């Protein structure tokens, strides 16, 4: 278990102030990463708290596991941005911030006077990371959006989603890879903008979206090559239209995609998860050399190694189907530990297939201190992922848990120059502070 340095450890972003005007996952993940890097992150929450406090595995009202994991290292500031009097508070907050993380619904930004132009008027060199779920333009440009929607829009859900029990429709993919990935890309954009400001004195707007993240993640599986793909894609699209018209299930549509567009993937015994005698094992052998080592360890014969084998024929399909069944039968004859030992001895990349509860006892995870333990004021000790980036000279650490709702409102107001009388007025007027 990783031992985190104390609260006074100075990360590479020490001295940078971040204002997080965001809920849910994408921008809060960005804020978490910046906090781990040493930035002071003030999280602006509605008076009832971030939605994640209430709907992501709540332990008791106002505190959930999902919120705690995603908001470590931040300060909680409750502000009702819908009220005109909140403007004076926001102006002081922005004036002392370097970065604003913004993920309000795009159509709400002008209404609350929180567009980039509005924020730039409060501080000329401000860096604003705007999160547009599906992009700023187009028929859905002003809409809110969630990971599940973008899984469908981007085409990646057809590759990653599991089907429901009936096989008729896809299940939403979890973890929310587009949300998390957008958080990481937003953090990259933020620190890149800081570098530009260091060189020029200029702030700027940084835009990220779930949809662009999803398309980037689709990389080698979501593309089109004009010189080679039309003869494959055009008849495939027609077959897919016919299949849908005839009521094909999700599983049937996925198989059509895999067998047509990912031709050659059928019978790939080298890169997959297998059921073993007592669990599952993951095998990752992509090169011809690693393929050969898999055959040496298992004794399996791959007909693709035979002279004259022609991929794409009915005979080839039958031969590869037989190979896959033989491999699956073979893997069920030994335990996961036995297979991992055999493949590692044979120089084949592999590992056990863990369920979440097993990760906290996985030797490889523990040996690298990829799990840390923090103490939450209300929920007690908990284990979570360590900062995923490491730096020799400027340590990146998670040195405190998520804040209780409204924990820092008064302190931050005082730091912004508001006196006790004004703070009391703002609370009484329900401009700041949690709802009761």
- pTM reported for the whole predicted model: 0.91
Q: Tell me whether strands 271-275 and 280-284 are parallel, antiparallel or unpaired.
A: antiparallel
Cα–Cα distances (Å) from 245 to 238, 249, 257, 260, in that order, read: 11, 11, 16, 18
How far does CA 152 lie from the centroid of its chain? 16
Beta bridge partners of 271: 284
Query: For 143-149, what is the mean pLDDT?
Result: 87
**Per-residue pLDDT band at 5 (split at 50, 70, 90):** very low
Lowest mean pLDDT among 87-96, 150-159, 312-321: 312-321
List the domains of the chain with CATH numbers: 17-217+370-428 (3.40.50.10540), 228-358 (3.30.1540.10)
Give me 387's structure tokens. 């900062």
Average pLDDT of the chain is 92
Say if residue 14's pLDDT is above 80.
Answer: yes
Q: Is 218 exposed, middle or buried (0-12, 13-18, 19+ CB in 10 A)?
A: middle
Q: Which residue has the tokens 């949300």?
A: 179
Ramachandran assignment for 299, one of left (phi > 0), alpha (psi -120 to 50 degrees), beta (any other): left
pLDDT of residue 335: 98
pLDDT of residue 153: 92
Q: How far apart are CA 8 and CA 10, in angstroms?
A: 6
35 SS3 class: helix
pLDDT of residue 266: 64
Q: How far apart are CA 19 and CA 90, in angstroms?
A: 10
Cβ atoms of 210 and 147 within 8 Å: the answer is yes
Q: What is the pLDDT of residues 216-243, one digit of tens each?
A: 999 988 888 998 889 888 999 999 999 9
- Alpha helices by DSSP H, listed for 62-209, are 65-70, 86-95, 108-111, 116-122, 147-154, 157-160, 177-200
Residue 329 phi, psi (nearest 5) = -65, -40
CA torsion sign for 221, 224, 228, 230 is positive
Query: For 326-344, what is the mean pLDDT?
Result: 97
pLDDT of residue 221: 85
pLDDT of residue 9: 62
Share of the chain above pLDDT 90, in %: 77
Short-list 53, 78, 15, 30, CA closest to 376: 53
If one compares 258 and 50, the residue with the highest pLDDT of the two is 50
How far does CA 208 lie from the centroid of its chain? 13
Query: For 234-256, what is the mean pLDDT?
Result: 93
**Sequence-separated contacts (24+) of 352-359 with Cβ below 8 Å:** 352/279, 352/280, 352/281, 352/282, 353/273, 353/279, 353/280, 353/281, 353/282
Cβ atoms of 386 and 362 within 8 Å: the answer is no
pLDDT of residue 313: 79
Cβ atoms of 75 and 40 within 8 Å: the answer is yes
Q: What is the pLDDT of residues 32-91, one digit of tens each?
A: 999 999 999 999 999 999 999 998 888 988 899 999 999 999 999 999 999 999 999 999
Short-list 349, 351, 220, CA closest to 289: 349
Q: Tell me whether strands 40-45 and 17-21 are parallel, antiparallel or unpaired.
A: parallel
Say if residue 265's pLDDT is above 70.
Answer: no
């Amino acid at each position: 278990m990783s031992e985190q340095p104390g609260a006074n450890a100075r990360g590479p972003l020490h001295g940078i102030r971040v204002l997080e005007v965001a809920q849910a996952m994408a921008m809060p993940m960005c804020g978490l990463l910046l906090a781990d890097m040493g930035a002071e992150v003030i999280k602006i929450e509605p008076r009832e708290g971030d939605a994640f406090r209430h709907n992501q595995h709540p332990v008791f009202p106002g505190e959930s596991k999902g919120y705690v994991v995603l908001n470590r290292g931040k300060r909680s500031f409750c502000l009702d941005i819908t009220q005109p009097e909140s403007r004076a508070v926001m102006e002081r907050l922005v004036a002392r911030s370097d970065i604003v993380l913004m993920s309000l619904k795009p159509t709400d930004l002008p209404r609350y006077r929180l567009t980039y132009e509005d924020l730039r008027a409060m501080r000329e060199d401000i860096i604003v990371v705007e999160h547009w779920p599906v992009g700023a333009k187009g028929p859905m440009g002003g809409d809110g959006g969630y990971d599940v929607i973008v899984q469908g829009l981007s085409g990646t859900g057809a590759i990653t989603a599991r089907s429901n029990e009936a096989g008729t429709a896809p299940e939403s993919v979890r973890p929310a890879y587009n949300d998390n990935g957008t958080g990481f890309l937003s953090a990259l954009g933020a620190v890149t903008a800081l570098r530009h400001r260091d060189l020029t004195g200029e702030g700027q707007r940084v835009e990220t979206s779930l949809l662009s993240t999803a398309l980037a993640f689709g990389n080698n599986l979501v593309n089109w090559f004009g010189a080679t793909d039309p003869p494959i894609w055009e008849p495939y699209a027609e077959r897919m239209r016919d299949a849908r018209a005839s009521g094909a299930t999700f599983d049937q549509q996925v198989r059509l995609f895999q067998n047509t567009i990912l031709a050659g993937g059928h019978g790939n015994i080298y890169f997959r998860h297998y059921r073993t005698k007592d669990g599952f094992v993951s095998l990752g052998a992509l090169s011809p050399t690693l393929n050969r080592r898999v055959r040496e360890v298992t004794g399996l014969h791959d007909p693709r190694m035979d002279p004259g084998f022609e991929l794409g024929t009915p005979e080839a399909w039958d031969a590869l189907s037989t190979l896959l069944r033989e491999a699956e039968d073979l893997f069920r004859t030994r335990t996961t530990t036995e297979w991992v030992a055999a493949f590692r001895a044979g120089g084949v990349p592999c590992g056990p297939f863990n369920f979440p509860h097993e990760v906290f006892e996985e030797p490889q995870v523990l040996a690298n201190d990829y799990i840390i333990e923090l103490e939450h004021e209300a929920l007690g000790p908990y284990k979570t992922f360590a900062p995923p980036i490491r730096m020799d000279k400027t340590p990146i650490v998670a040195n405190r848990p998520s804040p209780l709702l409204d924990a820092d409102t008064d302190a931050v107001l005082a730091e912004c120059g508001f006196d006790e009388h004004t703070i009391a007025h703002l609370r009484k007027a329900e401009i700041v502070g949690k709802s009761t």
